[in-house]
Amino acid sequence: MNLKQMEYFTAIVGEGSISGAARSLHISQPPLSAQMRQLEEELGVTLFDRGSRAIRLTEAGRLFYNRAVSILEMTKAARKELKQLEEGLLGTLRLGMISSVETQGIITSIASFRRRYPGMSFRISEGNTYQLLDKLTTGQIDAALVRTPFPEESFDCRYLTEEPMLAVGRADFFPADCGPKLPLKDLAALPLIIYRRWESVLGRMFPHPQPEYLCVNDDARTSLMWAASGVGVAVVPASIVNGGQSTPFPLTAKIISSPPLTSTIALVKLKNAGLSAVGQHFFQSFQVPEHGESAG
């Protein structure tokens, strides 16, 4: 008994006749019939009654069919796992993630990648961009999903998707006639809530005098929570606003323009640092849905 005989037998059951299976397998009927007779002799049972038009499984045939299907499925899975092992697509990736990329689209994309490579698993480390870059430098993680701006000289970077930064706060903070966009200069008069990496960037972009920030913190979610309390206007990436986070206070979002303020999600690893095959594959092929797209 061999796998080829099992494949032939399950094809006969699937087609309902030896002639139908011969056509689907692209072989002639006599050798297929001979293989089935040999299989029955080796097993010592009759697997099916041969009618003029169709076969009918015996009780032994039904039992053997169930076992044959299971064995063939396990064989297929084993071949796939061995192929993945040969390609190095088995193992654990230590991945850093900042809070503002922990959106449904990103998580769904990672889960989809994992479904394509079931031998892969993840260990997620969370922190702000600078904390994760430190972990990359010290070898605590293999790669990280972070956001610009950050010092890029020491890292290999894949820039995945760019999105606008938004001003988010109570509706009465914004002019009633400003539309969906707000010029950057108009932010200077607002009680701003920013996370720390944007302080120097905004400092270079704002006209003088510089605004006095209501709150400077290390996390986009913190900025959004402060805005949701109604005390000020947060400057945050669009995806964290559109990511379905519930807020205790109704929020209005305006795209920052003139000049536009944007941030890019980047997948980074330390330059000249070796990655496992699974890590290299993730680094080279992982994709992020564009802003506003579903990752499903």
Q: What is the DSSP-derived secondary structure letter of residue 89? A: -
Q: Is 188 left (phi over 0), alpha (psi -120 to 50) or beta?
A: alpha
CATH architecture of 3-82: Orthogonal Bundle (1.10)
Question: Over pLDDT 70: what percentage of the chain?
Answer: 92
Specify the CATH number of the domain 163-261.
3.40.190.10
| pTM score | 0.64
Q: What is the DSSP string of 202-213?
A: HHHHSPSSPPPP
Q: Where are the domains of the chain?
A: 3-82, 89-161+264-285, 163-261
Confidence at residue 249, expressed as pLDDT on a 0 to 100 scale: 59
**Both tokens assigned to 208:** 């003088």
Q: What is the DSSP-derived secondary structure letter of residue 258? A: T
**Both tokens assigned to 69:** 């299907």
**Both tokens assigned to 74:** 């396990």
The rounded distance, in Å, linking the Cα atoms of 101 and 265 is: 8
**In this structure, are strands 192-195 and 55-57 parallel, antiparallel, or unpaired?**
unpaired
Please determine, for residue 84, whether its predicted confidence score (pLDDT) is greater than 90.
no
Q: Tell me the per-residue pLDDT of 88-99, one tens digit each, with 9 for 90 and over.
A: 677 788 999 998
The phi and psi torsions of 235 (rounded to 5 degrees) equal -105, 110
The rounded distance, in Å, linking the Cα atoms of 262 and 149 is: 10
Residues 257-283 have a mean pLDDT of: 86
* Beta strand ranges found along the chain (DSSP E): 48-50, 55-57, 91-97, 120-126, 143-147, 155-169, 181-183, 192-195, 215-217, 233-237, 252-257, 262-270
CATH superfamily of 89-161+264-285: Periplasmic binding protein-like II (3.40.190.10)
Confidence at residue 248, expressed as pLDDT on a 0 to 100 scale: 53
The rounded distance, in Å, linking the Cα atoms of 289 and 162 is: 11
Please report which residue ranges of 88-186 form alpha helices under DSSP H.
Answer: 104-116, 129-137
Confidence at residue 221, expressed as pLDDT on a 0 to 100 scale: 87
Q: Tell me the per-residue pLDDT of 158-203, one tens digit each, with 9 for 90 and over.
A: 998 888 999 999 999 998 888 899 998 888 889 999 988 888 888 8
Q: Do domains 89-161+264-285 and 163-261 have the same CATH topology?
A: yes
Q: If DSSP codes are grouped into helix, strand and coil, which group holds residue 295?
A: coil
